Amino acid sequence: MTFLTFLTSLTSEQVVFILASILTIGAALVVVTNRNLFHAALALMASFLGVAGIYITLDAGFLAAAQLLVYIGAISILIIFAIMVTRRMMQVSESPFNSQRGLGFFVAVAGFLIVAVVILQWFGGEAFAAKPPVAPAVLSNAVAALGVSFVNPNAFALPFIVISILLLAALIGAIYIAWPRQRIDPAEDEA
Amino acid sequence: MIPLSWYLLVAALLFFIGLFGVFARRNAVAILMGVELMLNAVNINLIAFWRFRTVVNPLAPPPSGWAWAIFVLAVAAAEAAVGLALIISVYRRRDSTVVEDLDLLQH
């Protein structure tokens, strides 16, 4: 099958998925290679947007909204603030990579090839060829069911409480760590 | 009709791009960005398996894949907050965010 016939055989859902995937992967490549950290953070936001598009093709609209709010709205902005308050991080002169970039590249490519071979061998069967049909009522009721499962002791009540305490402790710890103290002399610190 | 393997391949590619970022970047903030990409890849896998398997399983609680994805989201938020606070604290003391400069424990 030529590339052109492959393109014309795509359904609209597949086109949306491929566009979202290209946005996600392309922006992720910019994130890990760009010299300018601020541009990398903006590409990170684009990558999160592509992941939200992938969620929509998986009928998980609520998670796409949560992705927009939490990742793009909160985490990306937090990273951008951290870049802006630390001086000299936006300089573009020196290499963005450390001395082990060659080994890191090899490990990443080799790992991806191994995982890709496993995926193509075990998940190419008929059972996973298409999304199984689900009653629309199940999908439209999923957000309400999610809320109920968070307070149901037989579902996710305990993990929900644990994750709440983890987030609270992490935020208090972050405030404590980043709290400004008296100026420490770097020369004294070296000794 | 999108096969499950497409989702898994995109997620694997995103994961290993993030892993390369963690291995190869010099700046601590860029390393954190790589970790965020890896967490996103995990979330894509969770939602894909939920859509292909769990949602049609009558024994599973309806949105279990969503619940775990949201837990990953909360852990990512906590990790970003603590990580960036550590970076700002280190920057105040050492005047640098390049991880190769942070070799105090080696000497």
Domain coordinates in residue numbering, chain B: 4-106
Is residue A13 very low, low, confident or very high in pLDDT (cuts 50, 70, 90)?
confident
Nearest partner of B2 among B48, B44, B47, B40, judged by Cα: B48
CA separation, residue B33 to residues A47, A56, A129, B43 (Å)? 11, 23, 33, 15
Asked whether residue A6 is assigned to any structural domain, the reply reads no
Is residue A29 very low, low, confident or very high in pLDDT (cuts 50, 70, 90)?
very high
When the candidates are 1.10.287.3510, 1.10.10.10, 3.40.50.1220, 1.10.150.530, the CATH number that belongs to B4-106 is 1.10.287.3510
% of chain A beyond a pLDDT of 90? 46
- Confidence at residue B44, expressed as pLDDT on a 0 to 100 scale: 94
Q: A87 in helix, strand or coil?
A: coil
Are the beta carbons of B76 and A75 separated by less than 8 Å? yes
Q: How many domains, chain A? A: 2
Are the beta carbons of A13 and B26 separated by less than 8 Å? no
User: Would you list the DSSP string of B33-81?
Assistant: HHHHHHHHHHHHHHHHHHHHTGGG-TTS-TTHHHHHHHHHHHHHHHHHH
State whether residue A147 sits within 8 Å of chain B by CB.
no
User: Taking residues B69-86, what's their average pLDDT?
Assistant: 92
Are the beta carbons of B17 and A79 separated by less than 8 Å? no
State whether residue A167 sits within 8 Å of chain B by CB.
yes
Is residue B63 very low, low, confident or very high in pLDDT (cuts 50, 70, 90)?
confident
Which residue did the predictor score with more confidence, B5 or A113?
A113
% of chain A beyond a pLDDT of 70? 87
- Confidence at residue A1, expressed as pLDDT on a 0 to 100 scale: 59
Q: Is residue A188's pLDDT more than 80? A: no
Tell me the chain B residues in contact with residue A178 when contact means C-beta distances shorter than 8 Å: 84-85, 88-89
Tell me the chain B residues in contact with residue A14 when contact means C-beta distances shorter than 8 Å: 1-2
Chain B, 63 to 102: residues with Cβ < 8 Å from chain A are 63-64, 66-67, 69-71, 73-82, 84-89, 91-95, 97, 99-100
Q: What angle do CA B20, B21, B23 make, to 5 degrees?
A: 65
User: Taking residues B9-33, what's their average pLDDT?
Assistant: 93
Q: Residue B95's closest chain A neighbor by CA? A: A186
Residue finishing a domain among A92, A118, A151: A92
Task: Tell whether A84 and A147 lie within a shared domain.
Answer: no
Contacts across the A-B interface (CB distance below 8 Å): 263
Task: Tell whether A83 and A141 lie within a shared domain.
Answer: no
Asked whether residue A111 is assigned to any structural domain, the reply reads no
Q: Is residue A105's pLDDT more than 80? A: yes
User: Taking residues A150-156, what's their average pLDDT?
Assistant: 87
Structure tokens, A183:
């100026």
Find the range with the poorest average confidence among A72-81, A88-97, B4-13, B15-24: A88-97
Are the beta carbons of A108 and B19 separated by less than 8 Å? yes
Q: Whose structure tokens read 């970047």? A: B25
Is residue B94 very low, low, confident or very high in pLDDT (cuts 50, 70, 90)?
confident
Q: How much is the ipTM here?
A: 0.91
How far apart are alpha carbons A180 and A190 in whole angstroms? 20
Find the range with the poorest average confidence among A29-33, A36-40, A87-91, B79-83: A87-91
Q: Are A122 and B8 in contact (CB under 8 A)?
A: no
Task: Tell whether A82 and A139 lie within a shared domain.
Answer: no
State whether residue A157 sits within 8 Å of chain B by CB.
no
Q: Are B6 and A113 in contact (CB under 8 A)?
A: no
How far apart are alpha carbons A84 and A81 in whole angstroms? 5
Q: A97 in helix, strand or coil?
A: strand
Residue span of the structural domain in which A69 resides? 11-92
- Confidence at residue B47, expressed as pLDDT on a 0 to 100 scale: 92
Q: In this complex, which of B21, B22, B71 lies closest to A159 when CB atoms are compared? A: B71
- Confidence at residue B11, expressed as pLDDT on a 0 to 100 scale: 95
User: Taking residues B53-63, what's their average pLDDT?
Assistant: 71
Asked whether residue A79 is assigned to any structural domain, the reply reads yes
State whether residue B42 sits within 8 Å of chain A by CB.
no
Q: Are B2 and A130 in contact (CB under 8 A)?
A: yes
Q: Is residue A190's pLDDT more than 60? A: no
Q: Is residue A172's pLDDT more than 90? A: yes
- Confidence at residue A120, expressed as pLDDT on a 0 to 100 scale: 87
